């Protein structure tokens, strides 16, 4: 019936991410275990750790030759708080309440937020901080008050979202919640992954690299029994007695899927991903799982620091303002992408203008400059009076310390009236707008994958960007939400699978 | 192994739209035919007609007790043209070129338009007109030049899209293309469906009502062999030797699916649908089909006629304009939904204001009135100067016959300077914004359902709103596109399945 290469029955080429292999067509299990985790990023590592700690035999398959996935590309910040504050929040004077964390995350999740996941995370965020430190992730007890995207030092606590900005500040008492690991320089995600990967090995998880999942194995009752993988020329049939946990990231690198599901995200020219080919999501769908929120994504232009630029105003190609500029750079960028056309400018005057910290990376250039806003308007080719009317209205209110239209906070309000004036060219197709996807498999907080009818697919779990978790709405995204979601719900998925 | 009620093996209750029933679990085929069509709306009727005409034995299953589906709720207009014009277009003086129809439909399809389908439809639209008349659909040779949504007379040709409006007019020479059937009063969709249903019967199609599809039947190679249906208490296993064509409409009535896939559409309070429960889309996914464009939808407020209101301007809760008001009501409405907050007003002066034709239906009321725009601004509670600046800029340009910011055509431009002034309250959560979904299964023009890898699922076809066809982008939707798509690609799907 089959050779040891396991290619009889159904040929390897015929396996598909979009249709499961039936149990009947498995010629011989190449390997058997209890829990299989697919993908060695933060979600997969956390799932493997908790499955192993719960006593299960675990294999972790990774498609590439190394661990880390897209998590390792990140700054490593994790969104934590509530319960009176983490030790670092408390030391910085923030007694972060659980209800504020809850309200913030619920609002940040957008119209489709998952209340159950938000609740569970808010209630257990402090304990999750303890778990992270218990795994070996170190945090310096320090706080940066200034606007930053990611510290270049080893400092910890930063404002990483829109906590102090309208409308979030009306719903939840603000606190800084971005916890960056004790790692000098940017790119702390690699450090966090090194710590988690070390734990994975310590706990005896069988890790296998260069194994690419190509199909799930299900029986006629739709229970998931394992996976078909490709390793070089070999087809591997791997049995999971308890469950399969999909943690292969999102789909931002699968440009065809992006085109079909999030076409607007193609306007951002810097996808952030490693594999992120949508394979986990497709495997889940093939077993009956529902993919939700597939048209949502995150996009950002790192236009601050310096904070002084927050005193500028963004206008679209019609000279209209469209957002309070003091919210998180990702929220501003999401509104930028919603504007008609592709012309976007950040207007500043002599008092507010300073070069951007990431000016070279951002590819933001000065689009026009002048001694009056009339001159800038003309130079930008905007219809007479359009930009000038916008600036006049803004200045009139800013002088009074008010922004009745967009609600930028008073500390960022100053009339833009000190010449020379500049318009920074933030064109979408030219500047550094990075992006990733926020759609994925619908799951219970336990990681169980749900069908469109809200029933669980037996034996199948998902976490990280393969699932649809806490971050699911670009305008609400805050730095650290993805790693928070991936590590916390990755843990739950691994634990749930092991306890089956 | 089974009784005649066919409930052994897998119990009826265990069948799922989200997972196929394997061929092995079919105890006995209750009925066998060559082509099965699911859903008796315009797509299903057209598919059944062409499958029967191609010589296949056909069963058409319908979940409800009558035919028509959501197509019968429509005005019955069909978007037709090109090739020098339909006889009715030509009589009205429009030599509609195929390339203009093509360019318009391609732009109307939005960033994710299906070039192949648009090409095929543009090239064959005139022939499709002939087909419709050959089936018995009658058209009066008449043209209505004025802005209308749907004639209350039996007149035929209307402007049913944004053909004359920016930016469409720059891409395609405008022509009216909405063809309404010869039927006195609104609701010509029922008439069109009566004609098609008569043809279905004449051609000997076996039509079965009150049969609800609950699962597809597939083999281990993922070929579709038939369907499991429920009829009263009975489970029916229906075999399709050649193919199954899914034409069950979209998913706007499945509010849970809307919440998960198009949450923004929940803001419209009048879903247009009959069954439209997403069952066809889910059946397709269960067999490996890819659902695409799931976050797109159509929404509209019938705010004109009278055409004079087009001379008004829409503003959002910040007093900003956001669209050229001379485009199709659905496009305007789509932009309305993209505005922050839920406050939307249509501003008019004494010269442009007249009550709306559908004022009562629309639930649009006068939100404020005054002798000056300052007064209106105050009454609406808008920040001082915000609305006034918008109107001043608009009026200044309109006086010169220009709209440099939004490009409303000159015929609709006049300064809003004749008091009294009014602001019509077009609030989203209060007024009649109707909606339906535009996401569905990815298909070839032949109707073959595609996987995420662009391979066809053997034996499975889809058409109408179960598939993703010509209409797939709210801002480009034009009346008549859905019925054009459903009838034309319904025909192709039925024909393709029969010719297998």
User: Mean pLDDT throughout A441-455?
Assistant: 96
Considering only the beta carbons, identify the residue of A263, A285, A290 that sits closest to B112.
A263
Tokens describing residue B94: 């429009």
Angstrom distance (rounded) from CA A47 to CA A447: 10
Give chain B's largest Cα–Cα span.
Answer: 83
* Residue A263 vs residues A296, A430, A468, B252, B335: alpha-carbon distances, Å: 10, 18, 18, 21, 18
Phi then psi dihedrals of residue A178, to 5 deg: -80, 115
| CA atoms within a 13 Å half-sphere pointing along the CA-CB vector of A228 | 33
What residues of B are in contact with residue A111 (Cβ under 8 Å)? 263-264, 266
Instruction: Tell me the three state secondary structure of residue A24.
Output: helix
Residue B71 burial (CB < 10 Å; 0-12/13-18/19+)? Answer: buried
Mutate to test the interface with A, among B8, B15, B170, B220 (most CBs of A within 10 A): B220
Mutate to test the interface with B, among A18, A20, A284, A289 (most CBs of B within 10 A): A18
Q: How far is A352 from chain B (nearest CA, A)?
A: 24
The full 3-state SS of B84-144, as one line of letters, equals CCCHHHHHCCCCCCHHHHHHHHHHHCHHHCCHHHHHHHHHHHHHHHHHHHHHCCCCCCCEC
Contacts of A104 (CB under 8 A, 6+ apart): A161, A163, A168, A171, A172, A177
Contact assessment for residue B107 and residue B163, using Cβ atoms and an 8 Å cutoff = no
The enclosing H or E element of A336 equals: helix A329-338
Phi then psi dihedrals of residue B198, to 5 deg: -60, -40
Inter-axis angle of helices B115-135 and B188-202, to 10 degrees?
Answer: 80
Beta-carbon separation of B389 and A392 below 8 A: yes
Beta-carbon separation of B293 and A18 below 8 A: no
How many CB atoms are located within 10 Å of the residue A266 CB?
Answer: 15
pLDDT confidence of residue A4: 39
pLDDT confidence of residue B269: 85
Q: What residues does A35 pair with on adjacent strands?
A: A58, A243
| Of B300, B152, B263, B220, the residue nearest A468 (C-alpha) | B263
pLDDT confidence of residue A269: 85
Considering only the beta carbons, identify the residue of A260, A397, A404 that sits closest to B290.
A260
Beta-carbon separation of A112 and B263 below 8 A: yes
Contact assessment for residue B420 and residue B371, using Cβ atoms and an 8 Å cutoff = yes
In total, the C-beta contacts within 8 angstroms joining chain A to chain B are: 119
Instruction: Tell me the three state secondary structure of residue A21.
Output: strand
Beta-carbon separation of A260 and B392 below 8 A: no
User: Mean pLDDT throughout A213-242?
Assistant: 96
Percent of chain A with pLDDT over 90: 90
Scan for tokens 């910011």, then name that residue.
B405
Q: Does A263 touch chain B (CB under 8 A)?
A: yes
pTM of the model: 0.90
Tokens describing residue A467: 């699932």
Query: In chain A, which among 24-43 make CB contacts under 8 A with chain B?
Result: 24-25
Mutate to test the interface with B, among A219, A295, A343 (most CBs of B within 10 A): A295
Instruction: Tell me the three state secondary structure of residue A494.
Output: helix
Q: How far is B426 from chain A (nearest CA, A)?
A: 19
Residues of chain B falling short of pLDDT 70: 1-13
Considering only the beta carbons, identify the residue of A278, A319, A453 that sits closest to B18.
A453
pLDDT confidence of residue B360: 83
Contacts of A349 (CB under 8 A, 6+ apart): A312, A416, A417, A418, A419, A420, A421, A422
Beta-carbon separation of B442 and A397 below 8 A: no
Considering only the beta carbons, identify the residue of B18, B22, B287 that sits closest to A220.
B22
Could you report the per-residue pLDDT of A414-441, keeping only the tens digit for each? 999 999 999 999 998 889 999 999 999 9
Query: In chain B, which among 438-457 make CB contacts under 8 A with chain A?
Result: 442, 451-453
Beta-carbon separation of A25 and B112 below 8 A: no
pLDDT confidence of residue A2: 36
What residues of A are in contact with residue B406 (Cβ under 8 Å)? 318
Angstrom distance (rounded) from CA A374 to CA A382: 10
Angstrom distance (rounded) from CA A304 to CA A172: 24
pLDDT confidence of residue A89: 98
User: Buried b vs exposed e over B157-166: b needs ≥16 C-beta within 10 Å?
Assistant: bbbbbbbbbb
Instruction: Tell me the three state secondary structure of residue A356.
Output: coil
Q: How far is A17 from chain B (nearest CA, A)?
A: 9
Percent of chain A with pLDDT over 70: 97
Phi-psi domain of B73 (left: phi exceeds 0; alpha: psi -120 through 50; beta: other): alpha
Contact assessment for residue A332 and residue A323, using Cβ atoms and an 8 Å cutoff = yes
Contact assessment for residue A481 and residue A38, using Cβ atoms and an 8 Å cutoff = no
User: CA nearest B15 in A: which residue?
Assistant: A221
Could you report the per-residue pLDDT of A464-485, keeping only the tens digit for each? 999 999 999 999 999 999 999 9
pLDDT confidence of residue A13: 54
User: Mean pLDDT throughout A42-65?
Assistant: 98
Q: How far is A344 from chain B (nearest CA, A)?
A: 14
Angstrom distance (rounded) from CA B441 to CA B37: 16
Residue A378 burial (CB < 10 Å; 0-12/13-18/19+)? Answer: middle
pLDDT confidence of residue A3: 35
| CA atoms within a 13 Å half-sphere pointing along the CA-CB vector of A65 | 1
Angstrom distance (rounded) from CA B274 to CA B64: 9
DSSP class of residue A298? E
Query: In chain A, which among 372-411 make CB contacts under 8 A with chain B?
Result: 383, 385-386, 389, 392-393, 396-397, 404-406
* Residue B254 vs residues A397, B35, B232, B260, B277: alpha-carbon distances, Å: 46, 27, 21, 10, 5
User: CA nearest B385 in A: which residue?
Assistant: A393
* Residue B456 vs residues B4, B95, B444: alpha-carbon distances, Å: 34, 38, 8
């Amino acid at each position: 019936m089959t050779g040891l290469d396991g290619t009889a029955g159904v040929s390897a080429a015929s396996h598909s991410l979009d249709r499961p292999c039936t149990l009947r067509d498995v010629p011989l299990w190449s390997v058997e275990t209890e829990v299989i985790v697919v993908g060695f990023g933060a979600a997969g590592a956390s799932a493997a750790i908790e499955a192993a700690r719960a006593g299960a035999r675990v294999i972790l398959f990774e498609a590439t030759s190394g661990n880390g996935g897209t998590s390792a590309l990140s700054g490593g910040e994790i969104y934590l708080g509530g319960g009176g504050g983490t030790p670092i929040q408390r030391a910085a004077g923030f007694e972060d309440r659980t209800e504020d964390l809850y309200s913030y995350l619920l609002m940040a999740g957008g119209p489709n937020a998952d209340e159950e996941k938000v609740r569970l995370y808010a209630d257990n965020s402090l304990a999750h901080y303890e778990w992270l430190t218990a795994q070996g992730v170190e945090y310096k007890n320090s706080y940066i008050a200034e606007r930053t995207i990611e510290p270049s030092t080893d400092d910890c606590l930063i404002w990483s979202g829109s906590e102090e900005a309208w409308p979030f500040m009306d719903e939840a008492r603000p606190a800084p919640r971005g916890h960056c690991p004790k790692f000098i320089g940017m790119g702390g995600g690699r450090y966090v992954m090194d710590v988690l990967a070390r734990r994975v090995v310590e706990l005896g998880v069988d890790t296998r690299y260069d194994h690419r999942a190509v199909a799930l194995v299900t029986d006629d009752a739709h229970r998931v029994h394992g996976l078909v993988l490709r390793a070089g020329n070999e087809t591997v049939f791997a049995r999971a007695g308890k469950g399969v946990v999909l943690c292969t990231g999102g789909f931002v690198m699968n440009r065809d899927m992006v085109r079909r599901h999030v076409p607007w995200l193609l306007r951002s020219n810097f996808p952030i991903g490693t594999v992120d080919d949508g394979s986990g999501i497709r495997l889940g769908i093939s077993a009956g799982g529902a993919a939700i929120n597939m048209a949502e994504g995150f996009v950002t232009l790192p236009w601050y620091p310096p904070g002084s630029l927050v005193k500028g105003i963004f206008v679209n190609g019609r000279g209209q303002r469209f957002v309070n500029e003091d919210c998180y750079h990702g929220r501003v960028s999401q509104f930028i992408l919603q504007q008609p056309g592709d012309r976007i400018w950040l207007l500043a005057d002599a008092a507010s203008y300073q070069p951007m910290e990431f000016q070279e990376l951002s590819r933001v250039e000065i689009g026009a400059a002048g001694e009056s806003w009339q001159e800038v308007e003309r130079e930008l080719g905007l219809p007479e009076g359009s930009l000038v009317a916008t600036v006049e209205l803004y200045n009139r209110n800013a002088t009074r310390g008010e922004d009745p239209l967009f609600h930028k906070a008073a500390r960022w309000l100053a009339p833009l009236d000190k010449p020379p004036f500049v318009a920074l060219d933030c064109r979408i197709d030219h500047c550094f707008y990075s992006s990733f996807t926020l759609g994925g498999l619908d799951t219970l907080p336990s990681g169980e994958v749900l069908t469109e009818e809200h029933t669980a697919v037996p034996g199948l779990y998902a976490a990280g960007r393969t699932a649809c978790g806490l971050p699911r709405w670009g305008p609400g995204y805050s730095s650290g939400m993805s790693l928070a979601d991936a590590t916390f719900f990755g843990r739950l998925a691994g634990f749930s699978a092991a306890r089956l």
